Structure 1
């Protein structure tokens, strides 16, 4: 039986030749060529940078089908010419853009008054300034002179892309002429003894040669993937395929093409996916099969964009450029067995990551509808898989960092847009941070300031990262059901209104009643039997009467409803102004919880240790104020030089990570003190020059040293996730009491 679909590749050189020969035609039901000039430019950039540009869907045509579908030439192709071979079902915009840029037809772009010319600035391309290297301009008198004069092109480092479509010896002749032009310039500079001109001309000669090599590689080795439908398929079936692609969003993606390319190697990727699908079904997404490939790719080469997925094919060579500029080729996956093993490892990694995200004491995405991002899965799974490969003694700290990165990503909306490049960058940043504490990613610094600016009032729709992140945080905090007092199971848990929706429809504008600030995790039974459509000033007194105010207040605080918020909810009458005051108070409480539990990383601590950690923090803040007061009282005193040096380095590192850092503030003494650690605060107080100023408060240096040591021991045990024995804890608590007294 003849295959109805045949996957294949074609080199750029061959594709341009087929475009020149008019082998591609467009069926009448396709839309017109709609790309803007800059869209064509971006496609050229992708091709020259060896990026994957998607696959084409072509139907091997015959005359009756060309006629039946009223096929037309590609935009700009001369009428009456050409030898049609393929009907383009998917990829018309890309093929037409390539035809326009490489073949340079003498026609204006659609809805434009002039013809556009596309070119590469070779000097910028070789300097890897890719955003500026690709350009287009309109055919003016100036550009007519440039196009007709290769010498001007060589001098200005302008490579017209139409050279690639001219055919024959045009391209090699241009490359040879470009290199020779700068060789001649080098010789002239040498004869004139102009050192600067020699250096510039020699560099241009080298770039000309390397650009020529790159052009040769692009034209001969760059592959465009396509699926060819058999010419004997019925027209109605082909039209149905086209409709599926363009109307229902079903498309041939990276998974489909890799599946087709693996078949000759003895691998049935779709069968492998069917076997794995049930293990990953918690997450509702159509992209999970591609996510498996992305995890494979991240773990093998750190990248996961579509271009890089094709290097996962067994035996496929990947071009690599080493830090010293050396170019080589590397095979990432040796054979089908290697591919299959890495596939299974990726499935295992995703399954383990999903279970971790589901766990109510880890990340608390207890239902797929409360997962902040689906798109974060590949990099999250890859980070977790990488952590399993490092030394066992380092994994505790590694998981702490992974949690910090995850929550920072959630509350900065990091994975709400295009994610492949973000995933690659985050994976490499996390690997570096796991090895070196000083390599903290800029994201962590951004999180520390960004969360303070979030307006949770606007989060009215379940599914956004911030909405779901706050809901997960409530589950992590042990939010208990108001009626049973138990932590509600996932299958019975939902987010319900605190102030009922019906009241909001009558008294409030817009959708503010649906804000996450007015919602909390409760069981369906509590929502139905306790709340229903009643206001809090009706159902909360009933709960208090039955269970006591202390018990109800404790449960509400696990929902980030503070005593102040409770007092507002109990007001009678309850007005729209009261509602606004309530959600403002809950906004404050949420931000406080994020800062305490996530930014300051107290989430993993037992409640009692959280309280001790907060007390230690208050002592550090008090010590800083005391030091500032002493130093500001007399200008002859200043911080010891080694402390100032350390602080300056830390501020510089922070500024590199966060461009919004207030440099003026951190030039002040108060700002500098924020970058002093506990040991440096101790050093500042006990130093010989400053001790006389502090002695009236601390009295005995020996006692001070002992208390600092006890405090530091407890602090380090808490903040570095080490167990503290009973003596360390008791001595630390005694030090906290001592400092609280002397700082009062």
Structure 2
């Protein structure tokens, strides 16, 4: 009998070489490359930690089979390949390997930019594996780093494309990296700096040895089907492989390990289940373990859950490089206590998320992320251990992090590593305002680019996030004027879906921009399938335009959007105009309530805060014009502070447009109110402003009043009547002066 199957294995180096030569091709019936950037990162992590990544199924090809199956090169391969193997199982893994190690000049699917993969060597050597493997989008800064070995060495960045380059690239890089830190140790002054440089040099050598071990000895298993095997049999094998799959449940594994120790984890889960049933997920039992793990060791991937076992030793590497062992959970009693604390933390977190004035997820259907629960619960549990006086500011920061996560789709990918990173980042931010996570700046720069019109599926993060904001906003029922009970909410089409199916292309009628919460009775019995221009005029006639405007604005429907809805006839162009206007209104609300954090303010102070900000913006514009755009005209100590703030922001946000912040207008964005006052009233610059502001002493007084109001609002202090009235007077004064 002919040997139709040949089990074998190949080293990582050899596999990368075959990928570089284009030996693997993908048959047409395979799905496209679908992995997300974080999936590729996790594969790299598995390889570097010497984990098994599964077996490949390859068919030794020949010309007629390549043609019969319409085979194509792996995604990103450019050139004439030495076609040898048809990939039947393992396409996603092989393509991920090609993309990370060979770094083709193509963006990832559904992305506009290339992703560059690298290892943070300092994190890797400290065994902080969830943070050691990362990727970044190709920007001017990243492109510069890729060309600059000195920067790579200084910042401990190892581009994975070095492995794929072949030849002497890898040994040269490792040798130069070690030499860089040996020289740094020789030139360093101070015992601490010398020791640190020597430790980096030793780590460089050790990392190089690990690299050689991984590239030469890491084995990827595969099964090679004989090229003479009939096509129908090969297709049958492929079908059988892709129709099976066994879910590996880490909870069941931990339960099995705990049973001999006398812990019935499944029974403990049954007792807790009813308290957490609001959230519809099969993973809640694992989430409890993850909360325990995050609180004990910050990490929560399956590997780390194992260290929750009572008495289990965990090897820890300290910052100085020494290794020690520690036990996270000493005995069964401590495990049970930690479990109960995690259940309580999740229960409280769920209550907070579903609260209509807090996070607005009044139904599990509208929870933006189920997967964010473990880290959200863990952060909330940590905050409860902090002094009472610090908890107000802590909750403000948590809200900002949460909404930033929702509207950047942060928890749609590699959840465990993201949870670990966020827990550590938010904790650091709670301890120090300067530790603001990069996510916050990313949210500020990205929310305006969100295409809300594409959010047509209930359950996605952004769709549900907008719906939650409508609940928090107190969206009132259009007919009764009441805020609907949360068990009587309909996700209503403003322009009926029946009209949309006849007049609009695609599924655009289902966009969140055309949805809003109303009572079931209003939705089904009053509005039904009518266009707004059929029922809103009667509503306005009976209740008055002012009352209807107020109700509509609680749904982020501006007077301009309402006017569009009233058009008769109502056309597809009118629908487009309506959703465009509503997108603008919702994005303004996101900026006002979330980015600028006015959600935390009482409604009567939100408008005042916005007015103070408007004055600051006008003052910046006035300074930029008066100083003729010359940055040298700024006082040196203020310019230095601004430059430091811009540099900190650039480190946190790779997408920051540094060129913009070389201009005076850009620099003034990082200038606070008191610094604007100092610029305007300074000896050398006052002549540029005297004609407008006339009296310097009066200007000082108005700045004091404005600053007192702003500080009271933004630092959650009570704004008394005198402060408010004086602040309002200062706002009016500045408006009049700046509009001259």
With structure 2 as the length reference, what TM-score do the two structures score?
Answer: 0.71
Whether the aligned pair in 1 keeps the contact of 2:476 and 2:554 (CA below 8 Å) is yes
Alignment of 1:190-589 (within 5 A): 207=206, 251-589=247-585
**Partner residue in 2 for 1:723:** 718
Output the CA distance in 1 between the equivalents of 2:162 and 2:616: 54
| Structure 2 residue corresponding to 1:610, chosen from 606, 609, 612 | 606
**Partner residue in 1 for 2:657:** 662
Output the CA distance in 1 between the equivalents of 2:57 and 2:566: 70
Shift of 1:42: 8.5
Are 2:733 and 1:732 aligned?
A: no
Q: Deviations over 1:153-187 (max 9, x none)?
A: 999999xxxxxxxxxxxxxxxxxxxxxxxxxxxxx
Q: Deviations over 1:578-636 (max 9, x none)?
A: 11111111111111111111111111212221110111011111111221121118x69
Output the CA distance in 1 between the equivalents of 2:715 and 2:418: 28
Q: Deviations over 1:42-87 (max 9, x none)?
A: 8896376276989x9xxxxxxxxxxxxxxxxx999xxxxxxxxxxx
Structure 1 pair 529–642 and aligned structure 2 pair: CA distance change class (3 A): same
Where do 5+ consecutive residues of structure 1 fail to align?
1-35, 57-73, 77-107, 147-152, 159-198, 220-244
Structure 1 pair 250–156 and aligned structure 2 pair: CA distance change class (3 A): closer
Shift of 1:697: 2.0
| Structure 2 residue corresponding to 1:699, chosen from 689, 694, 698 | 694
Shift of 1:556: 0.4
Structure 1, 674-683 or 637-646: larger mean CA deviation? 637-646
Structure 1 pair 256–47 and aligned structure 2 pair: CA distance change class (3 A): farther
Output the CA distance in 2 between the equivalents of 1:207 and 1:611: 58
Whether the aligned pair in 2 keeps the contact of 1:51 and 1:307 (CA below 8 Å) is no
Shift of 1:530: 2.1
Output the CA distance in 2 between the equivalents of 1:380 and 1:433: 15
Structure 1 pair 131–53 and aligned structure 2 pair: CA distance change class (3 A): farther
Structure 1 pair 209–496 and aligned structure 2 pair: CA distance change class (3 A): closer
SS of the residue 1:328 aligns to: strand
Q: Deviations over 1:675-717 (max 9, x none)?
A: 1000101111111222233222222222221211111111011
Shift of 1:734: 1.7
Whether the aligned pair in 1 keeps the contact of 2:631 and 2:663 (CA below 8 Å) is no
Whether the aligned pair in 2 keeps the contact of 1:365 and 1:472 (CA below 8 Å) is yes
| Structure 2 residue corresponding to 1:630, chosen from 614, 620, 626 | 626
Structure 1 pair 353–53 and aligned structure 2 pair: CA distance change class (3 A): farther
SS of the residue 2:607 aligns to: helix
CA RMSD of aligned residues (A): 4.0
**Partner residue in 1 for 2:678:** 683
Structure 1 pair 611–75 and aligned structure 2 pair: CA distance change class (3 A): closer
Q: Deviations over 1:253-276 (max 9, x none)?
A: 111010011112111100000000
Structure 1 pair 46–652 and aligned structure 2 pair: CA distance change class (3 A): same
Shift of 1:342: 0.5
Where do 5+ consecutive residues of structure 2 fail to align?
1-32, 59-83, 89-93, 95-100, 102-120, 126-152, 176-197, 219-240
**Partner residue in 2 for 1:66:** none
Structure 1, 246-255 or 471-480: larger mean CA deviation? 246-255
Structure 1 pair 356–51 and aligned structure 2 pair: CA distance change class (3 A): farther
Structure 1 pair 453–261 and aligned structure 2 pair: CA distance change class (3 A): same
Whether the aligned pair in 1 keeps the contact of 2:620 and 2:668 (CA below 8 Å) is yes
**Partner residue in 2 for 1:643:** 638
Output the CA distance in 2 between the equivalents of 1:693 and 1:320: 61
Output the CA distance in 1 between the equivalents of 2:457 and 2:675: 47
SS of the residue 2:492 aligns to: strand
Structure 1, 127-136 or 730-739: larger mean CA deviation? 127-136
Output the CA distance in 2 between the equivalents of 1:541 and 1:297: 57
Question: How many residue pairs were aligned?
Answer: 574
Q: Deviations over 1:186-209 (max 9, x none)?
A: xxxxxxxxxxxxx9xx96997499
Structure 1 pair 337–571 and aligned structure 2 pair: CA distance change class (3 A): same
Structure 1 pair 208–538 and aligned structure 2 pair: CA distance change class (3 A): closer
**Partner residue in 1 for 2:28:** none
Shift of 1:249: 6.5
Whether the aligned pair in 1 keeps the contact of 2:490 and 2:523 (CA below 8 Å) is no
Alignment of 1:127-138 (within 5 A): 132=160
Whether the aligned pair in 2 keeps the contact of 1:320 and 1:329 (CA below 8 Å) is yes
SS of the residue 1:325 aligns to: coil
Whether the aligned pair in 2 keeps the contact of 1:52 and 1:306 (CA below 8 Å) is no
Are 2:586 and 1:590 aligned?
A: yes
Whether the aligned pair in 2 keeps the contact of 1:359 and 1:365 (CA below 8 Å) is yes
Structure 1 pair 494–601 and aligned structure 2 pair: CA distance change class (3 A): same
